Structures are given as C-alpha cells and as structure tokens.
C-alpha cells in the first residue's frame, strides 16, 4: 500500500509536465463577413455594394473593383493576452471561388499575406496558398517565427493583419465567408489546474515518506 501514493505522485507530475509543455490557445478571435446581422458588412468604408453579399465579401485582385484604390484588409487585435509569449498563430478561413491552376496554367492564384499593419506586409507569403475550390472550403494556416517574416512584428504589436495577394494574370476574385485567429503560446501565470496537480504530487510524496519512515 505504501507504494500507491508514490505512483499517484509520479503520474500527477507527469501530467503536470505534459500540460506545461503544451502550447494552449491563449485567445481565439472570429469574424464573419457579409451584410447579414452580426456580420462585418464592409471591409472598407467606401466598398461598393457589389463587394458585399449576404454571407460573404468578394475580394478582387484589382483594387478599383471595390472603389478607387481599395483592397481588402482586416486586423485582429490580441492585446488581451497581456504579457504571454506567443509561439504560433493558426488562421482558419472559409472561402469559395478560388480556381487556382487550370489546365496547367495559373488562371487564378490566391495567397494569404499576413501583416503587422497596412504598410508592413509579409514578403514570403508564397507558401500560404489558398486551395482551389468552387464550393465553400475551410483551410487552416499556421504561422510561426520560422515561416513568417513579420511574425515578430505581429506579436510585438499584438495585431494580426489579414490581407491577400493574387499572382496570376487577368482579373480575378473569390468569396471570403469567415476568418478565425487562434493565438497559441505560454501564459505568464501557470493555470490553476497545473498548480493543483503539482500540489497533489507533493502531498503524495509526503505521505509516502511518512509511511516509509514507519
């Protein structure tokens, strides 16, 4: 019987270590686009009505399509995480009408282009390619310091800028329905559940030592 508390303590410590090493979601921010109630109606103050649908916004590679010199840009502020350390960000997009390659040619080629501001956009965005889909498609992009040149600037300012680039010839567009940003990392203060497990482990070790002494 004297070995049971020791086993419990060891298990609790292992669980605690596993939880401490995992990168939890510090904050999740979601947006839906369109003209319906609760959706973001206009991505620019002067966007034409042709760019805003009931459940989506239409993005064009020609900025004049939605008003003179206008391009889609949205931002996600995650300053609510305080002094937490950000290890990665996961962006989930729902979209439709991205045609991508056609008969071996780039008929349309949309990319996610993250930014820390409207004037500081990523230059290594070619890897963040939107899949080709005529129907609604959901895709997840993961950003870290290793694959995104503006990652440090984004985390320093605690603002993720969402923009897109289209690298094919011709006039192209697609529909953006929603976007969700998950910010992952390490909180400055340990979670209460982790502290509780650590306390159980120490208590178990203490009980084991007392019984061994007897």
Query: What pLDDT does 62 receive?
Result: 74
Intra-chain end-to-end CA distance of the chain, in Å: 13
Closest among 114, 121, 119 to 183, alpha carbons compared? 114
DSSP 84: P
CA separation, residue 8 to residues 2, 55, 60, 186 (Å)? 11, 52, 59, 26
Whole-number Å distance between alpha carbons of 47 and 57: 10
Picking from 8-12, 54-58, 203-207, which range would have the lowest pLDDT averaged per residue? 8-12
Return the CATH number of the domain spanning residue range 25-189: 2.60.120
CB 110 within 8 A of CB 168: no
Higher-confidence residue: 58 or 18? Answer: 58
Mean pLDDT of 130-154: 97
Reported pTM: 0.75
Q: What are the boundaries of each domain within the chain?
A: 25-189
Query: What pLDDT does 51 receive?
Result: 80
Q: Give Dmax (Cα) for the chain.
A: 85
Given a cut of 90, is residue 170 above it in pLDDT? no
Calculate ∠ Cα 193-195-199, nearest 5°: 115
CB 197 within 8 A of CB 16: yes
Given a cut of 60, is residue 12 above it in pLDDT? no
Given a cut of 80, is residue 40 above it in pLDDT? no
Structure tokens at 38: 């609760």
């Amino acid at each position: 019987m004297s070995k049971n508390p020791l086993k419990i303590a060891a298990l609790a410590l292992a669980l605690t270590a596993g939880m401490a090493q995992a990168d939890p979601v510090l904050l999740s921010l979601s947006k839906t686009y369109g003209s319906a109630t609760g959706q973001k109606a206009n991505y620019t103050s002067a966007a034409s009505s042709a760019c805003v649908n009931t459940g989506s916004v239409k993005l064009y590679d020609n900025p004049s399509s939605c008003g003179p010199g206008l391009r889609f840009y949205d931002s996600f502020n995650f300053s609510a995480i305080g002094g937490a350390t950000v290890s990665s960000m996961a962006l989930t997009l729902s979209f439709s009408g991205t045609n991508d390659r056609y008969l071996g040619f780039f008929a349309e080629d949309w990319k996610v282009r993250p930014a820390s501001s409207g004037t500081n956009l990523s230059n290594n965005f070619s890897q963040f390619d939107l899949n080709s889909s005529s129907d609604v498609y959901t895709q997840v992009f993961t950003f870290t310091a290793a694959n995104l040149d503006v990652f440090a600037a984004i985390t320093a300012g605690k603002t993720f800028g969402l923009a897109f680039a289209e690298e094919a010839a011709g006039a192209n567009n697609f529909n953006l329905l929603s976007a969700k940003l998950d910010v992952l990392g390490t909180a400055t203060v340990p979670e209460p559940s982790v502290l509780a497990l650590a306390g159980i482990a120490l208590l178990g070790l203490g009980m084991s030592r007392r019984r061994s002494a007897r």
